[in-house]
Amino acid sequence: MTKNYTVAILGATGAVGTRLLSQLEQSEIPVGQIKLLASKRSAGKQLQFHDQSVVVEEATPASFDGVDIVLASAGGAVSKRLLPEAVKRGAVCVDNTSAFRMDPAVPLVVPEVNASALQKHQGIIANPNCSTIQMVAALKPIYDTAGLKQVVVSTYQAGSGAGQRAIQELDQQAQQHLDGQTMTSEIFPVKGAARHYPLAFNLLPQIDVFEPDGSTHEEWKMVHETKKILLDDMDATAIKVNATCVRVPVVIGHGESVYFEVAHPEKMNPTKMKEVLQQAPGVVVQDDPATQLYPQPINAAGTTATYVGRIRADLENQGGYNLWVVADNLLKGAAANTVAIAATLVKNQWL
Query: Could you say which of 326, 330, 334, 336 contacts its own copies (CB under 8 A)?
Result: 326
Minimum distance of its own copies from residue 46's CB (angstroms): 25
Residue 87 forms beta bridges with which residues?
A: none
What is the distance between the alpha carbons of residues 64 and 79, in angstroms, rounded to a whole number? 13
Q: Does 298 bind its own copies (CB under 8 A)?
A: yes
217 part of the active site: no
Residue 184 labeled ligand binder: no
Confirm or reject binding of residue 222 to its own copies (CB under 8 A): no
Give me the catalytic one of 130, 177, 245, 264.
Answer: 130
27 is in an annotated binding site: no
- Tell whether residue 350 is a contact of its own copies (CB under 8 A): no
Residues 6+ apart with CB under 8 A from 15: 160, 163, 164, 167, 330
Q: How far is CA 39 from CA 13, 45, 82, 102, 219, in A?
A: 9, 11, 12, 26, 29
Task: Burial-class residue 150 by CB neighbours within 10 Å (0-12, 13-18, 19+).
Answer: middle
Indicate whether 290 belongs to the interface with its own copies (CB under 8 A): yes
Query: Which residue out of 93, 224, 245, 254 is catalytically annotated?
Result: 254
When binding is defined by CB under 8 A, the residue of 49, 100, 156, 307 that contacts its own copies is 156
DSSP H helical segments within 110-210, as ranges?
111-114, 130-146, 164-178
Instruction: Show the binding pattern over residues 245-264: x = contacts its own copies (CB under 8 A), - = does not.
Output: -x-xxxx-x-x-x-x-----
Query: Segment contacting its own copies (CB under 8 A): 50-58, 73-81, 286-294, 341-349?
Result: 286-294
- 85-124: contacts with its own copies (CB under 8 A): none
- Cβ neighbourhood burial of 315 (10 Å; 0-12, 13-18, 19+): exposed
Under the criterion CB under 8 A, does residue 271 sit at the interface with its own copies? no
User: For the chain, how long is the longest CA-to-CA vector?
Assistant: 64
- Reply yes or no on whether 121 is catalytic: no
Nearest CA to 286 out of 325, 230, 336 is that of 325
Nearest 5°: the CA angle 126, 336, 58 is: 70
Rounded to a whole number of angstroms, the minimum distance from the CB of residue 335 to its own copies is: 20
Beta-bridge partner residues of 35:
8
Site membership for its own copies, residue 303 (CB under 8 A): no
Asked if residue 178 binds its own copies (CB under 8 A), the reply is yes
Asked if 240 touches its own copies (CB under 8 A), the answer is yes
Contacts of 85 (CB under 8 A, 6+ apart): 61, 64
294 binds its own copies (CB under 8 A): yes
- b/e 63-93 (16+ beta carbons within 10 angstroms → b): bbeebbbbbbbbbeebbeebbebbbeeebbb
Residue 327 assigned ligand-binding role: no
Q: Does the protein bind its own copies through residue 143 (CB under 8 A)?
A: no
Give the active site residues.
Answer: 130, 254
Write out the residues near its own copies by the rule CB under 8 A.
150, 152, 154, 156, 171, 174-175, 177-178, 189, 193-195, 197-198, 201-206, 210, 213-215, 223, 237, 240-242, 244, 246, 248-251, 253, 255, 257, 259, 270, 289-292, 294-298, 309-312, 314-317, 320, 322, 324, 326
The annotation places the binding site at 13-16, 41-42, 101, 157, 160-161, 247, 329
